[in-house]
A and B are shown apart, each in its own frame.
Chain A
């Protein structure tokens, strides 16, 4: 039994399901193969449920700060099981939403393990039953999973990946977070706000190493002030588990090795692409350090086979996957004669957001990267303490930094720390897509009072024209 499609998407994460919907919109007969839950990691075990958890910890944090705002809260407290249950409920709601979208767009669903048997054929295995699905085009959107440390295999009891950390069996008392990327810092922030003692170790010499150096420095201070123990240039060399907790062998910045006790460990040291057992080897699809190699239209080296999202490499972000999904679907539709004009992916203009407290958001080049690339730069920096709305919110911690090319006025990058900056960054991303220069940004009217005024001020500051500093 074989079904023939214009497009079959392997994986239904934020890359895969968006690609399928876009293809269906363009009139392609489309199917999707999923081994677990529609929506993938992002929706079920990543972006969304963590935001639900962080909302709980944020409100809990505010409850403890109530007095500062003139409010009285008798005795702030929480029920971890209910916090987790809310997060799972949010994930379930969105999962059902995707199910509805698949139905609305008449996308055929195949649940099971998909494996490419040819460049136009996928065998889907479910409970020992095999269904062959054939398609003129295939998009591989199998995503990625947490990287394990060889000496600290996650067991879900004492050693956690993000997935265990999202559904904790108990509240950690003394938590060790290995890795200070977005995932590590978000969980550190959540558990710290919920009252755990949190230690974060980072191998590199600064935390959040993909961000601008000013952001790393600011966050080190901010998180330390919140009571976290943040240790750059520090590595974990071994972990022993016992019934009571774990003992970690830690090599500090000074080279000294110490043994420390923790109740739990979260391993957040990056991800590995899901490329096993999906039939890539037989098709000779080119990979680079495990990731599938694709061009600006998401094509692999095998005609008709595309790949999108985490399985194709950095940045490992849901919105990058979704955008690639649209490009791949449009490119395929164009090949099938549809009147659609896909644009090439511009990886230099993908924003990155971390939902810790305070939030971090950025797009484009850091100041150091811009200089490395040979730009003579103009840098503007505006602190939240100069922004009326931030002070009114009681959130005056943060800044907006902008990096311009001196010769052309091109906005090379923007880096923000503070309340709601994850919502603000899009203003700069749109500006970069439209290729605005400092002139248009300066000429834009920003609403008052908003935190976004700090974005305006930062641009003005780069040219020595900031008003409120």
Chain B
């Protein structure tokens, strides 16, 4: 039986992708579980496996092809030991005796990510609201039972037109330049950050935080953890501090969602990691309740996989708040852009020795500036301030991070 391999939808909203690489060639025998190809979406490269044994008869889409629509046939596979039925195939492929086969092509592949069907689950009211507002249902993730799109999802959704890409900048053509094609990731970054700055009213709150106690504790912990091969970074402790602070000030662990507010019961911290040609935010789920040693180990693994482009969607999609640290690059202080639908992001500046008033006398302390950006639709200034206070206290009296 000849089977058409189609471009899979690797996420519910994926419409097209890049066929980055074929790992098999025509004539190869493949067994269930073999990886056939790597497919690049806007954020990640995913592996594409077979679930059946067979022979790759024909590759229809060449490696490196961009913008392959979901559902497009990309290869033909002849299943082992069966030649009684066939599906219509392009002429250039030789197929087994043609016997009428009205049955639809069975699914022969599974993808690492979960494939959703084409049916959009949506309430009647949400469908009508979407039509009235011009919201594309296919772009939404439903918050109702089993992902059903409900009224609240529509009210919180951007209009289809608002999501369109801004017009290309026209240059005068005089300045020597090259045109560099945007990667899927760069397009996503551009779209999301534009949405954030256009739609989310940001409020910025900055505090100075003494780091001496945290640095001392880190030194002691690292001595103790050395036999376990764990080396905590300052960033690991800051992630923990943010997670605990969000748990203590739940008013800041929220998402604005139209006429509702999502109140999270867990602190899932997205940590900005620079990778070649972009940025990705792997998530430390439940960081408020994990030990700093576990967080450190998990963060190191996520960062490595992020740099290899191997993160799975669930590892970078979601999160309840973000942390971005530019201290290692010598940045004293900065205001980060919120990553919607999250309600806040913490921007960390460099820890540096500064003149500092300690017990009424001028001394020298290691101090850093941290700036929280908050979605002002969902979070009041006083709640944001409370979060910054708790964050500061946790760092200045860091034993609170361990219990």
A409 to B128, CA, bound (A): 9
Chain A hits for B126, CB < 8 A = 435
Residue of B nearest to A341 (CB): B145
Bound complex: CA A295 to CA B247 (Å): 14
The verdict on B132 contacting chain A, using a C-beta distance below 8 Å, is: yes
Instruction: Tell me if B124 and A435 are in contact (CB < 8 A).
Output: yes
Indicate whether A439 reaches chain B with its CB closer than 8 angstroms.
yes
Tell me the minimal C-beta distance from A31 to chain B in angstroms: 23
Interface readout for A273-315 with B: 1 if CB under 8 Å, 0 if not? 0000000000000000000000111010101000000000000
CB distance from A155 to the nearest CB of B (A): 45
A436 touches B124 (CB 8 A): yes
B243 → chain A, closest Cβ, in Å? 13
Interface pair A295/B250, CB less than 8 Å apart: yes
B263 touches which of A296, A410, A437 (Cβ 8 Å): A296
Which A residues are closer than 8 A to B by beta carbons? 295-297, 299, 301, 303, 331, 334-335, 343-344, 407-410, 434-437, 439-440
In the complex, chain B residues whose CB is within 8 Å of the CB of A343? 145
Please give 6 more A-B residue pairs, beta carbons under 8 A apart, in addition to A297-B263, A410-B151: A334-B265, A335-B266, A408-B125, A409-B125, A436-B124, A437-B124
- C-alpha gap A249/B311 in the complex (Å): 76
Known: A296-B263, A297-B265, A409-B128. A435 touches B150 (CB 8 A): yes
Q: Are B132 and A407 in contact (CB under 8 A)?
A: yes
Expressed in whole angstroms, the minimum distance between the Cβ of A451 and any Cβ of chain B is 25
- Sample 26 A-B pairs with CB under 8 A, ordered by A number: A295-B250, A296-B263, A297-B265, A299-B250, A299-B265, A331-B265, A334-B265, A335-B265, A335-B266, A344-B260, A407-B132, A408-B125, A408-B128, A408-B132, A409-B128, A410-B125, A434-B123, A434-B124, A435-B124, A435-B125, A435-B126, A435-B151, A436-B125, A437-B125, A437-B128, A439-B124
Interface members, chain B 149-169 (any A CB < 8 Å) = 150-151
Query: Complex formed: what's the CA distance from A301 to B265 in Å?
Result: 12
- For the complex, what is the distance from the CA of A434 to the CA of B150, rounded to whole Å? 9
Of all chain B residues, the one with the shortest Cβ separation from A297 is B265
Residues of B within 8 A of A410 (CB): 125, 151
- Segment 94-140 of B: residues with Cβ below 8 Å from A: 123-126, 128-129, 132
Instruction: Name the residue of chain B whose CB is nearest to the CB of A346.
Output: B260
For A299, list chain B residues within 8 Å (CB).
Answer: 250, 265
**Complex CA–CA separation, A238 to B145 (angstroms):** 54
The reply to whether A303 and B124 contact each other, CB–CB distance below 8 Å, is no
Give Cα distance in the complex from A261 to B262, angstroms.
55
Most chain A beta carbons < 10 A, residue from B125, B126, B128, B260:
B125
User: What residues of B have a CB within 8 angstroms of the CB of A408 in the complex?
Assistant: 125, 128-129, 132
Cβ contacts B29-68/A at 8 Å (1 or 0 each): 0000000000000000000000000000000000000000
* Residues of B251-296 whose CB lies within 8 A of A: 260, 262-263, 265-266
Look across to chain A and name the residue whose beta carbon is closest to the beta carbon of B149. A435
Nearest residue (CB) in B for A405 is: B125
Assuming the contacts A408-B132, A435-B150, A435-B151, asked whether A440 and B265 have C-beta atoms less than 8 A apart, the reply is no
A301 and chain B: residue at smallest CB distance = B250
Among A299, A344, A410, A435, the one with the most B-chain Cβ atoms within 10 Å of its Cβ is A435
Cα separation A331 to B250 with both chains bound (whole Å): 15
Total B residues in contact with A, Cβ cutoff 8 Å: 17
Residues of B within 8 A of A297 (CB): 263, 265
Q: How far is the CA of A351 from the CA of B180 in the complex (A)?
A: 60
User: Chain A residues with Cβ under 8 A from B125's Cβ?
Assistant: 408-410, 435-437
Which listed residue, B123, B132, B260, B266, touches A435 by the CB 8 Å rule? B123
In angstroms, how far is the closest chain A Cβ from the Cβ of B34?
31
Task: Find the B residue at minimum CB distance from A432.
Answer: B125
- Sorted nearest first, the 8 A-B pairs with minimum C-beta distance are A435-B123, A435-B125, A437-B124, A295-B263, A410-B125, A437-B125, A436-B124, A440-B124
Q: Give min CB distance, A78 to chain B, whole Å.
A: 49
Residue of B nearest to A441 (CB): B124
Cβ-defined contact, A303 with B247, below 8 A = yes
**Cα of A410 to Cα of B126 in the assembled complex, Å:** 10
What CA separation (Å) do A109 and B124 show in the bound complex? 45
Residues of A within 8 A of B129 (CB): 408
Determine the distance from Cα of A303 to Cα of B266 in the docked complex, in whole angstroms.
11
> Given the complex of chains A and B, what is the CA–CA distance between A435 and B151 in angstroms?
8
How many Å from the CB of A41 to the closest CB on chain B? 29
**Chain A proximity of B337: nearest CB distance (Å):** 27
Q: Quote the shortest CB–CB distance from B131 to chain A (angstroms).
A: 10
Instruction: Give the distance in Å from the alpha carbon of A334 to the alpha carbon of B286 in the complex.
Output: 12
State how many angstroms separate the Cβ of B160 from the closest Cβ of chain A: 18
B265 / chain A contacts, CB cutoff of 8 Å: 297, 299, 331, 334-335
With both chains docked as a complex, state the minimum distance between the C-beta of B158 and any C-beta of chain A, in angstroms: 19
Q: How far is the CA of A335 from the CA of B129 in the complex (A)?
A: 34
Q: How far is the CB of A219 from chain B (nearest CB, A)?
A: 31
Closest to A438 in B: B124
For B250, the chain A residues whose CB sits under 8 A away are 295, 299, 301
Chain B residues lying within 8 Å of A437, measured Cβ to Cβ, are 124-125, 128
Closest chain B CB from A40 CB (angstroms): 27
Question: Bound complex: CA of A343 vs CA of B144, how far in Å?
Answer: 8
From residue A130, how far is it (CB to closest CB) to chain B in Å? 28
A273 to B150, CA, bound (A): 34
Which single residue of chain B is at the shortest CB-CB distance from A343? B145
A292–B247 CA distance with the chains assembled, in angstroms: 19
Name the residue on B nearest A411 (C-beta): B125
Report the bound CA distance from A235 to B144 in whole Å. 46
Residues of B within 8 A of A295 (CB): 250, 263
Contacts of A409 in B (CB 8 A): 125, 128
* Cα distance A326–B266 in the bound complex, in angstroms: 19
A364, chain B: closest CB distance, angstroms: 13
**Neighbouring B residues of A439 by C-beta, 8 Å:** 124
Question: Given the complex of chains A and B, what is the CA–CA distance between A434 and B265 in angstroms?
Answer: 25
Across the two chains, which residue of chain B brings its CB closest to A407?
Answer: B132
Q: How far is the CB of A406 from chain B (nearest CB, A)?
A: 12
B379 CB to closest chain A CB (Å) equals 14
Complex Cα gap A344–B263 (Å): 9
> Which residue of chain B has the shortest Cβ distance to A331 in the bound complex?
B265
Cα distance A271–B146 in the bound complex, in angstroms: 39
